[in-house]
Structure 1
Amino acid sequence: MTQAVPQVHPIFDEATWTWTYVVHAGPGSACAIVDPVLDYDAKAGRTRHASADKVIDYVRANALKVEWILETHAHADHLTAAPYLKAQLGGRTGIGEHIAAVQKVFKGIFNLEAGFATDGSQFDRLFTDGDEFRIGALTGKVLHVPGHTPADIAYQIGNAVFVGDTLFMPDVGTARCDFPGGDARTLYRSVRKLLSLPPDTRLFMCHDYPPSDRPVACESSVAEQKARNIHVHDGVSEDQFVDMRTRRDATLAMPVLILPAVQVNIRAGEMPPKEGNGTSYLKIPVDAL
């Protein structure tokens, strides 16, 4: 049986430069939501749902049934809106199985409560490399692509691959590797894994940070990346990439939302348990990073 061709609806969050995707086979079909964004005002510690509500509006306008809410990794630059979307639309949350390693590291950094589980059980499904899953008439396949973090995965749905932070648009390059568990050599090999797919494979980015001479964009192709990616085009060796990535990462500031985002995202988007006054609190580890 021929698989349905995935339709991809991108939604851009300007505050975090993040792309969220709704993937489906047409109006009335099942769908998956990839990398949703919760609006978070770091100055006030306040959450809102403007970005997630755009997802809800699109899903309802097209009579879609949410089967999955998928994370490519535990993001450091935005908070996930997965719990809000799940409450409104249903669906199961999924992430790569190596989220457990990320949880173990950050449980220590944030000195989280003793009962915080570091086995990934906050998510409905932990995917392993090569896993397949259904989205109605569509089939998804999981590709483990570590390097940015140990837990990064990409989702291949038909001829579309949602690459997370592994790759950016060709004129932006690749993701940093200096977070806990990141590794430039591993990232290079993950990128080559993606670029071994057929040349016309559609690659969808999690972020875009465009130069001033073009608007934001979300889609590239294997052929375009191999020809034009400024960091990993064909001909760039592993050693050359590692040297470039290591030197570049040493110049980068931490993402603005890394401290709140990681605490929330390793909990599958839930806030820390409320304290005696009914309020949740996020921690700021002083001089720890």
Structure 2
Amino acid sequence: ASSEVEFKDATGWLLGEEGEGVRLILKMAGMTRFDCALGSHGERRRARAVALYHAHQRQVMGKQLVDPPLMRPVLARQALQLEGQTALVMRLARAWWQADDANQVAFARLLTPAAKFVICKAGMPFVAESMEMLGGNGYCEESELPRLYRDMPVNSIWEGSGNVMCLDVLRVISKKSGIVEALIRECDEVKGVNRHFDRRWRQLKLRLGKHDEAQARTLTQDILQLATAVQLLRHAEPRLADAWCGQWLDTRGEPTIDAALADRLLARASGR
């Protein structure tokens, strides 16, 4: 639930210069937008935890629900997606923390609206998938998932909806000095590690100088995905990073997750 507040006979103090209100409040909005992305990511992790717990407890035709070959890739793909997003939001948090470093400020300014757009918007189908794993029980309030599903759209809508975030990314690229250079430095560090990353990075660099509003959503998503891949290629175990790049950077189709990696992802997700 949300509401609006009306102030009567209240006292206010001017913050900043008159006429500069939007510019001033956007400084706060950047952190709030990061908060939206972080909150949606946390709720997705909670939804995955509920579904995974159910899959370990529920028996279907004499087997644990987590074991059938049709279910394991679904659970593993969710886990893989969250591995990437956890790495990305932690990297973004570090950039916000280092406010005295111009490169980190540039990284945060570009990636915050991109993260809000991609992570928040992807929350609804992610939680819906978790609900399906519980079957009818997942649609009942006792499962907790309906509340998470209702919560998800607010972070996508508030503090700038999807198109606003994508236009902000275009604005940052075209008007803020050092932004593109910061992204290039970030991505060039892992060139040659993964062929899917290299191909998508080459394609993105060709588009960074074009102010094409019609392609703003695709551009924003590509920037966020490549920034996520950078973190995994730097810090994650190689087969996990390669699997993530294969899933989200290879445009030729949805690759499968091999059984050994699925076992590893589900073990990590279960805290084992």
| TM-score normalised by length of structure 2 | 0.29
- The higher relative CO (CA closer than 8 Å, separation ≥ 6) is in 2
Higher strand share: 1
Instruction: Output the TM-score relative to the length of structure 1.
Output: 0.27
Higher Rg of the two aligned structures: 2
Higher share in helix: 2
